[in-house]
Amino acid sequence: MQQRSIRRVAVVGTGTIGMSWAAIFLSRGLEVSASDPAPDAEARLRRFIDDAWPVLARLGPVAATPPHQLLTFCADPETAVSSADFVQESAPEREAVKAAVLARIDAVLAPDIVIASSSSGLLISKLQASCRHPERCVIGHPFNPPHLIPLVEVVGGAQTAPATVERAMAFYAAIGKRPIHIRREVRGHVANRLQAALWREAVHLVAAGVASVADVDTAISEGPGLRWALMGPHLTFHLAGGAGGMAHFLEQLGPPLESWWDDLGSPSLTPSVRDALTVGVAAEAGGRDIAALAAERDRFLVDLLALKKSSGS
The Cα 220–Cα 227 span in angstroms is: 10
Does residue 166 belong to the site contacting a second copy (CB under 8 A)? no
127 binds a second copy (CB under 8 A): no
Residues within window 188-207 making contact with a second copy, judged by CB under 8 A: 188, 190-202, 205-206
Nearer to a second copy, 151 or 163 (CB): 151
Beta-strand ranges (E) seen in the chain are 8-12, 31-35, 71-74, 86-89, 114-117, 137-142, 151-156, 178-182
Nearer to a second copy among residue 16 and residue 65 (C-beta) = 16
Residue from 40, 261, 272, 287 touching a second copy (CB under 8 A): that is 261
CB 142 within 8 A of CB 113: no
Q: Measuring CA to CA, which residue among 22, 53, 25, 26 is closest to residue 35?
A: 22
Among 40, 64, 75, 290, binds a second copy (CB under 8 A): 290
- Sheet containing strand 151-156, strands side by side: 71-74, 31-35, 8-12, 86-89, 114-117, 137-142, 151-156, 178-182
Using rule CB under 8 A, residue 110 touches a second copy: no
Establish whether the linkage from the previous residue to 145 is cis, with ω within 30° of 0: yes
Nearest distance from C-beta of residue 163 to a second copy, angstroms = 20
Least distance to a second copy, CB of residue 129, Å? 20
Question: Phi and psi for 34 in degrees, rounded to 5?
Answer: -115, 155
State the sign of the Cα–Cα–Cα–Cα dihedral 159, 163, 169, 175: negative
Q: Does 51 bind a second copy (CB under 8 A)?
A: no
Sole binder of a second copy in the list 5, 40, 75, 268 (CB under 8 A): 268
- DSSP letter, residue 302: H
- The yes or no reply on residue 250 touching a second copy (CB under 8 A) is yes
Examine residue 182 and tell whether it contacts a second copy (CB under 8 A).
yes
Q: Is 37 in the site for a second copy (CB under 8 A)?
A: no
Using CB under 8 A as the binding rule, whether residue 296 contacts a second copy is answered as yes
Considering only 3, 65, 69, 144, the residue that binds a second copy (CB under 8 A) is 144
Nearer to a second copy, 126 or 227 (CB): 227
Residue 228 CB, nearest approach to a second copy (Å): 3
Contact pick of 58, 247, 287, 309 for a second copy (by CB under 8 A)? 247
Number of C-beta neighbours around residue 150 at 10 A:
14
CB 206 within 8 A of CB 213: yes
